[in-house]
Structure 1
């Protein structure tokens, strides 16, 4: 997308129901998809108030209207539940600020879509696991998110990115990309291609179970990284799940698995020394404990049993996506060096191999907590 101009930003600011006088504004956060700004207003008699303003990326999210319908539907539902539970709805869920004409988003003269949220005070999101307690708190928070939305009709949500975690479809795409070999790179990554083809059963596993009706479709977050949880500065508790752009129908095991893929790895996602890459069973244990605790009995026994498979599937899928992008000429993921996507792909496949070696341990950990030994 074209960079946001000051004129665009001022136009957007003028069209939301903000209170007070704007005293400062600037870029905010570490996200790569939307353009995010922090605005500070001086409100008479109330002091300073912060709000978040975002230009949505309609290249990634082609239906911003449907996306906002999802967010408003889910956050309104959560707000009622939080109030019923005696919580603080201004801090425990996102709160959309309406435009001056009462809509949930604003379309500027350039055709770009904007939205605004109340700023969650006295809480922090962390880009990496600085202490294990944060990882545990994120698990409880994402599990609690599942718990609170267990009765929300998933089929009413729009699919904001089509086939986002359809591993079976991504596998079919991968095979076509290998056959096309538009960059002439396939010959140099035969080992990695073979790894994907040998794991076709992993790609098909959840899709087949869903078709048979053995696992339920739920409201899922689909981007369960640590930095999508706000952790209270005073209590250290995970209080709010943020970045709801990918909230749509999905599988609870995939939400669990994506967290493990990213948070329980002993190395960076693009680590070149594969001897450093493994799945920490200590962190896996911590996250499984927190997630199952947060779900508070809302998952089926089968879903809990399949949580290790969720970790393996999401790690495999991510590695396959990195390899697909490498074969297509690095057109989707941002790269910062030659072969960057290939390095990322290799770390994910090493994690899959490590999980396979530790499969019995992972199952034992999940079984331990599924038996209410939390």
Structure 2
């Protein structure tokens, strides 16, 4: 997308139901998809009010109207649940600020889509696991997200990114990339290609369970990284799940699994020294404990049993996507150096192998906490 112009920003700011005098505006956050700004307003004797203003990336999210319909529906549901439980709905879920015309988004004169949220004060999101407690709190928060939305009709949600966690479709895309070999790279990654092909059944695992009706479709977040949890600065508690753009119908085990893939790894996602890459069983246990606690018995016995498989499949899928992108010439994931997507692929496959070695341990940890979660 083209850069935001001054005219666009002023137009958007003037189109939402803001109060007070704008005293500060600045780019905000570390996201790479949407253009995000923090706005600060002075309201007479009442002090300051902070809000988030975002231009949605319509190249990534091609149907912003449906996306916002998802967000409004889910946050309205969460708000009601939080109020019933005596919580603070202004801090424990995102609050959409409407336009002056009463809409949850604004379309500017260039056809770009904007939205705005109340800023969650006195809370922080972390890009990396700095404290084990933060990882635990993120697990509780994402589990609570599952619990509060367990009665939300997932089938009414729009699919904001088609086949996002359809591992079978990802496998087919991988095979097509190998066949096309647009950049002539297939020869140098024969080992990685063979790794994927040996695990074709892993790609098909959950689709078969779904077809057999053995696991339910739920409302899922689909981007369960640590930095999508706001952690209260005073209590240290994970209070709010943010970045709801990828909220769609999906599998709870995938939300769990993506957190493990990212948060329980002992190395960075593009680490070249694979001897540093492993799945930390201590962090795995911390997350299992928190996630099951947060779900408060809403997961089925089968879902709990499948949590390790969710971690393996999400890690495998991500590695396969990195490999596919490398074969296609690095067209989807941003790279900062040659071969970075291949390095990313290799770390994920290394994690998969480590999970396979530790499979009995992972299953035992889940059994330990699973009995308490039912």
Aligned to 2:129: 129
State the SS of the aligned residue for 1:256.
helix
Structure-to-structure mapping, 1:164-175, within 5 angstroms: 164-175=164-175
Q: Counterparts of 2:292 and 2:371 in 1: how far apart (Å)? A: 10
The residue number in structure 1 matching 2:348 is 348
Whole-angstrom distance in 2 between the partners of 1:45 and 1:106: 29
1:76-91 aligned at under 5 Å gives the runs: 76-91=76-91
Which ranges of structure 1 fall in alignment gaps of 5 or more residues?
none
Q: Aligned ranges for residues 104-143 of structure 1 at < 5 Å?
A: 104-143=104-143
CA distance 1:25–1:148, change in 2 (3 Å): same
Structure 2 gap segments, 5+ residues each: none
TM-score computed with the length of structure 2 as normaliser: 0.99
C-alpha displacement at 1:6, in angstroms? 1.2
- 2:100 is the alignment partner of 1:97: no
Alpha-carbon deviations, 1:201-228, whole Å to 9, x = none?
1100001100110000000000000000
Aligned-pair CA distance for 1:170:
0.5
Matches of 1:212 and 1:46 in 2, distance apart?
Answer: 57
Which residues of 2 match residues 207-218 of structure 1 at below 5 A?
207-218=207-218
Q: CA RMSD in A?
A: 0.8
**Within 5 Å, which residues of 2 pair with 1:1-374?**
1-372=1-372
The structure 1 segments of at least 4 consecutive aligned residues displaced by more than 2 Å after TM superposition are none
Cα distance, 1:7 vs. partner? 1.1
Whole-angstrom distance in 2 between the partners of 1:37 and 1:137: 26
Q: Deviations over 1:82-130 (max 9, x none)?
A: 0111100000000000000000000001100000000001000000000
Per-residue CA deviation, residues 25-80 of structure 1 (Å, 9 max, x unaligned), is 01000000000000000011210110000000000000100000000000000001
> How many aligned residue pairs are there?
374
In structure 1, what is the Cα distance between the partners aligned to 2:362 and 2:205?
18
Q: SS of the residue aligned with 1:99?
A: coil
CA distance in structure 2 between the aligned counterparts of 1:146 and 1:153, rounded to whole angstroms: 12
Q: Secondary structure at the match of 2:239?
A: strand
Question: Counterparts of 1:312 and 1:234 in 2: how far apart (Å)?
Answer: 35
Once the two structures are TM-superposed, the CA of residue 371 in structure 1 deviates from its matched residue by: 1.1
TM-score using structure 1 length: 0.99
Question: Which whole-Å CA distance do the structure 2 matches of 1:363 and 1:342 have between them?
Answer: 30
Displacement after TM superposition at 1:373 (Å): 7.8
